[in-house]
Structures are given as C-alpha cells and as structure tokens.
Amino acid sequence: MSYLNGSHHITMSVAGAQEDVDFHVNVLGLRLIKRTVLFDGKIPIYHLYYSNADGDPSAVLTTFPFGQAGINGRRGTNQAREVLLAVPSGSLNFWADRLKDRAADVHDATVFDRRRVLFRHPCGIEYQLVEVDDDPRRGFTGAGVPQEYAIHGIYGVGVHVTGPDTAVEFAANHLGAREGLAEGDRFALEAGRSGLGGAVELVVNRTDGPGTWIYGAGTIHHFAWNADNLKNQDELKFEIEGAGYTDLSELRDRKYFKSIYVRSPGGALFELAVTHNEGGWDCDESPQELGKRFQLPDQFESRRDEILGRLEPIDI
C-alpha cells in the first residue's frame, strides 16, 4: 500500500539570503510565500518558502541561508543532489535563453532520451528543468515569466548513491515507488500519484566522496513526501520502523505542516509531511498576502526584535 500523494517540498541549505531570493523570485519567477525561521537549534536562520501560483504541495522549495552563519556543506554521494522542476512542454528554449544571462553552468543535456536544461543555484546546488505535458498545477507569472513558460512545481529529486540496490528496495517496499526507465548509471522511480512531483532519480556515483548531512550552505537537506493525512503518516512511520529502519524522528510540528524524518539507506534524508487542519500557508497570512510579513513561531515571538536584528536584511 502506498501512503504517499507525491512530493510536498524540497529543502536546501543555501548561502546568502538575498542571492537566494533574487534567484528564486527574479530568475525562476517563483512566488515567495513565507518568511520565517528555522525551528531547530539556537542560531537565528531564515526559512524561506517559494512556490507556484497556488502553493501546492509538490510545488514548494524552501531554503535555509546558512552562509551568514559561516557553515558550509559538501556535495557528494549518499545524499540528494539535484532539484528537478517541471515546466510546460515547449518552454525549454525560453528557459535556456533566460538562464544564460542569470544563472551559472547553464547547458542542455539528454536524460532518458529527452532534453533538459541544467543550471546551478548561486551556492552551487544543481537544478534541472524537465518538460511535462498537461501538468494541472498553475505556474506563477513573476519577474516577467509568461504563463505558458512558468514553472509548475517539483518534478522530483536526483539522489546520488554508491549503489542503487538498497535505495530501490526501500523506495519500492516502503514508499510504494514504481520503477521506470534506466539509462547508464541513472535509474528512475516514481512514488505517489503521477505528475505530483514524486520522481526519484538514483544516480550511481562512485567518484565523489560522501556528502555532508548537516545544515550547510550548498547542499540539499531533505526531500519531503506528501503523506496526505496524519493517519497515513502514522501508519507509514510504523511500517518503516517495523522493517528495521529505526532512524526516524518523532512527529514534529512545523506550524504549516507536521513532519517525520527518515534517513533512507541510500543516504538521502526524506520527510513525511502532512499539511494539517490547523496549518497551511494561510494559517497566519491571507492567501493574497503570503510572504509579505516576517512570521515567527510562538516560541520565538518574544525574541522578535533580537532575531530580526541578527538576520541578514533582504529586499523583496
């Protein structure tokens, strides 16, 4: 039984907050829907959320700008490495031209016999644009990106592993993933409903050393699955634990959703996320005002002035 409904979000540790906003909003044309802080640890770090027009689960990218704290990660194997984004069919020429003036390491590649546009975030994280037919999710038309080219949301994630067998077994047996195409050292899987960002592409990488698993600039921290409801989330946690994968967190309330984290055998950190009844992006802002005001969880509200004084100023 599959308890998943596609992806929920991807979370990255980036370098500077301003360059991250400029990249996601002004280059990719995404909508900034939330400005808050990292719930974990004592160092005040932004948590920034970007999405398509409607903030759909499966369309949200979130970032922790750890450059201000001077903490850097190391990209390598046994971690999520590639952010895969879905764009409308026929849009890659537009994106290739736009990105050549605005992003790093922009080039075309053929993956599974289809063209993709590859580029990098300013902090070095790898991105790929994948054309998708009839995607129902609505792109956001920010920064001059027309509707016919706007990013729909997440396509999936690329995970680099030293060997695919245990990662495939975990995804198939516990995430309900379906195996797809294979091409050289790249293996395609998909979990959840088709078209909702649930693609996982395993890349066998025996060249790079192990990547870091900490919060560190320049790395993907985790890939979140949409468990759809709390019952599914709970049952999936017990199923994974019962199979012997005991590296799971307890339920954590992230205000906008509730989360359980599991370290997969391929090394990638996965999150099982549920947007619960008391949460959602509009629990503290109206849908029209998303991202306009700096939000803090209740436990940090008494430190608002201190936290704002320590965070890097950003111009939205």
pLDDT of 148: 97
Q: For the chain, what's the residue count?
A: 316
Residue range 61-82, pLDDT digits in tens: 999 999 989 999 999 999 999 9
Question: Residue 23, Cβ neighbours under 10 Å: how many?
Answer: 24
Residue range 92-105, pLDDT digits in tens: 999 999 999 999 99
Q: What is the pTM of this model?
A: 0.96
Calculate the alpha carbon distances from 208 to 74, 79, 202, 218, 248 in Å: 10, 11, 15, 15, 27
Residue range 167-179, pLDDT digits in tens: 999 999 999 999 9
Q: What average pLDDT score do residues 115-119 get?
A: 98
**What is the distance between the alpha carbons of residues 189 and 283, in angstroms, rounded to a whole number?**
34
Asked if pLDDT for residue 1 goes beyond 80, the answer is no
Contact 224, 10 (CB under 8 A): yes
Calculate the alpha carbon distances from 302 to 11, 306, 307 in Å: 26, 9, 10
- Burial environment of residue 82 by CB neighbours within 10 A (0 to 12, 13 to 18, 19 or more): middle
Under DSSP, is residue 20 helix (H, G, I), strand (E, B) or coil?
helix
Mean pLDDT of the chain: 95
**What is the distance between the alpha carbons of residues 299 and 301, in angstroms, rounded to a whole number?**
6
- Cα angle 67, 42, 81 (rounded to 5 degrees) comes to 45
Which helix (H) or strand (E) segment holds residue 173: the answer is: helix 165-174
Contact 69, 43 (CB under 8 A): yes
pLDDT of 2: 66
Residue range 39-67, pLDDT digits in tens: 888 888 999 999 999 999 999 999 999 99
Under DSSP, is residue 171 helix (H, G, I), strand (E, B) or coil?
helix
